[in-house]
Amino acid sequence: MDNSEIEKQKKKEIKRIAIEANGKIKTALFNSKITPLTGENVRAVIKQMKKHYVVFNKDQTM
């Protein structure tokens, strides 16, 4: 694999994670309409996002 191919893979992975995280936020927001979004839930969503952010930030700086 040359560098451009590695870059493409990274971008694909970042896009996939971003879409996944976005879906989780939308789900959390949708669920919050049924049950009010408490501080606990907000913290859980943020924690989840931080995990994802760390995952694709490990090997490159954004």
**Structural domain harbouring 29:** 11-57
Which tokens hold the place of 19? 């879409």
How many domains does the chain fold into? 1
Per-residue pLDDT tens over the stretch 5-44 = 888 888 888 888 877 877 777 777 666 665 555 666 667 7
Does residue 62 belong to any structural domain of this protein? Answer: no
Does residue 26 belong to any structural domain of this protein? Answer: yes
Closest by Cα among 56, 60, 44 to 18: 56
Helix residue spans in 1-62 (DSSP H): 3-34, 39-57
Report the C-alpha gap between 47 and 50 in whole angstroms: 5
- Per-residue confidence (pLDDT) for residue 33, from 0 to 100: 60
| pTM of the predicted protein model | 0.39
Per-residue pLDDT tens over the stretch 35-61 = 555 666 667 777 776 766 655 555 554
Does residue 19 belong to any structural domain of this protein? Answer: yes
Does residue 25 belong to any structural domain of this protein? Answer: yes
